[in-house]
Structure formats: structure tokens, C-alpha cells
Amino acid sequence: MSETPEIRKGLYGVVVDETSVSKVVPETNSLTYRGYPVQELARYCSFEEVAYLLWNGRLPTQESLIRFSAREKALRHLDRHLIDLIMSMPLSCHPMDVLRTAVSFIGAQDPDAYTRDSEHVRHSALELMAKLPTIVALDIRRRQGKSYIEPSRKKGFAENFLWMVFGDEEGSPANSRSNIEAFDKSLILYAEHSFNASTFTGRVVTSTMSDTYSAVVAAIGALKGPLHGGANEAVMHNMLEIDDPSKAEAWAKEKLNNKDLVMGFGHRVYKKGDSRVPTMEAAFKELAEEHGQTKWVEMYDILAKTMEENTSIKIKPNLDFPAGPAYYILGFPIEFFTPIFVMARITGWTAHIVEQNENNSLIRPLSAYVGEEQRSVPPKSF
């Protein structure tokens, strides 16, 4: 009699490969990128420096950062054909559909798309990092009936995106250093998180010896799901539904009593709370104070307290909980929270694509069959 295999639904607890890109260190409960705690990276580094770190395994020198940033800025422009494609897409479609289609188009234009050389993959990654914000900003503005703002070749990554979305009119987040820094921190915190669903999807596609763009398109499809990238959108929808902080506790208790999933809380990896939350929470609260929207902070605190005190395992917030209202305060449309997530996570995805290529093995798990036993096809009766 054959031994019954152990089945772990969702691959929970299964170690499928090695990585040197990131790790949650149990002793410090800290997410690290290439060994550096993410909270320290968010405090001392720019998103560009973190992208360089993820792709190269080390932080850049001042000279290498200048070169890296110049290359990224030079790749931000979209050609007329891609702009026309984006403008032709239905306004009713989800912004993630636009992003997915745009990446496919960029890949189709690359004559060396199937080149698996690490340097070419890094170049493709840099081009996607540079162009995705331009694509997202164009999509936001076209849905608002506003004209396209060309990317800047002088502004930093975070500032450039805010500029392309909001312009420089009075009150624009692009004119506020604190807004730019808060957004930059969010990108750093979202950049990478080991073998999460979308990253693993990208690595599976890469393991078949497919191209970088196909792997990224697949990862975008995985991130589109509300149990993964869509969580920050759901958080803000919930907050808008509650609307009044005085109703937040009752709302949370009703959800818990009904055993409903409350987005923005809990995490498969963290046992003592998401180490990214304190940094994002501080940035969110500073934004709320600056923009006069402190009711979201009051609601946030009540929901966090209620969830922790009324669950046996003391469920704590994850990164999506403070990121959702932070993005809302900055003025981003809710349906674009996940595409913004992609703008950050493209760095982590492509770091893993490079790693998968350099030591590849086809990812092909087994399954336990629970269907009908082998049987014969009955003779026809007609």
C-alpha cells in the first residue's frame, strides 16, 4: 500500500527553493532585503537605491546611483503606439487590465525578449520600472478626462509619478516634500516580499524558460486578485463604508461575529505583526495631519484595537491597512492602488526572475488525485 502524501493546501509551510533576495528574520520579526531591514531602508534610502539593491545585491555608491537613475529617467517615455493602445482601451476595464496589456506590448517590441542573460533581464526590468509609472499616470488622467503629462527627466521616481498624475497646480502632492517622501517609503515597503503569490507565479513562468515579460504579465494577473494586491483597495472601500469613526468598532465586531474576512489584517508570514506597518503607519498619520483628514486615523486606530482585542490570536494589521488610506489621502483613485503596488513590486519580481534563471529547475508540483478510480467506458446503447 502506497503512503498517503501530505497535502498542504496553498503550499502553506512548504519550502520549494532557495532565495537570497529577501527574508523575514524570525528573531527580529523584520523583513529584510538582501540582509537590510526594510524599515531602515525606508528611513535612509530612496526607492531607486532599493531597486538597485534588489537587482545587484548591494547598495549603490553615489556614482553608481547617479548612473542608474539617469538610465531609468531616459526610459520613462512611451512611444506613440503604446499611448494610442492605452487610450483605446475601454474606460470600464480594470486598470490592472491596462497594465497587463501594456507590459505585453512592451515585450512584443523587444526583439531580444527571450534572452535569459541576467544583464538583459535587468535592463528589461529597468525599462518596466521606468515605464510603468508613466502608463499608470496616463491611465488615471485619461479616465478623469485630463491630458497626458510627459514624464520628467529631472525629477526622482516618486516625485515624477506624483507630477504625472497631479501636475504642479496649487495643492498638488507633487509640490510637497513630505508627500513625496511618504509615497517613496510606501514603494520601498511594497517592493519585495519573498515567495508571495505573484512572485511565485512569476518564478513558475520563468522556470519554463519563458521570457521576462510573460512572467511579469502572469505576476500582474496574480496580484490583481483581492486576496493579494487588491487588499489595499478593499481596506479603503471598508473605511468609506464605515465613514464615521464612531461606527468602526461595531462594524469590526459584526464582521468578526459573522466570520467575515477583514482585509488589511493578518499575514501568513508574520506571527508578531507585519514589520512594515510601523513605518507606513507613521507616514499615513503624517499625511492625514497635513491634509486635514484625521478621521481616517481615528478610524484606523479603533479598527486595529478592536481586531486585536476581539480575536483569540490577536490579529494585527498588515501593510495594506495603512497604505490604503495613505494613498486615498494623496488623491489616488482607489482602483489604482494595486497598479501602484505593481510599480513597486516590479523590482522584487524581476530580482526573482534573475535568480530563477541563474539556477533554474522547472517548477512542477504533484497533486493527490481524489476523483473516480480507473473504470471502463461502457458500450453505447444507441
Task: Give the active site residues.
Answer: 228, 267, 320
* Residue of 235, 320, 223, 310 lying closest to 270 (CA atoms): 320
Cell of 78: 512611451
Give the separation between CA 298 and CA 276, rounded to whole angstroms: 20
Does residue 346 sit in helix, strand or coil? Answer: helix
**Burial class, 353, CB count within 10 angstroms (exposed 0-12 / middle 13-18 / buried 19+):** buried
Q: Where are the beta strands (DSSP E) in the chain?
A: 22-25, 30-33, 36-37
Please answer whether residues 356 and 214 qualify as being in contact, where contact means their C-beta atoms are separated by less than 8 angstroms.
no
Displacement of CA 307 from its chain's centroid (Å): 24
Give the separation between CA 318 and CA 276, rounded to whole angstroms: 8
378: left (phi over 0), alpha (psi -120 to 50) or beta: beta
Beta-carbon contacts of 263 under 8 Å, excluding residues fewer than 6 positions away, are 226, 231, 234, 235, 238, 320
Tell the residue number behind the cell numbers 444507441, with chain if given. Answer: 382
Displacement of CA 382 from its chain's centroid (Å): 57
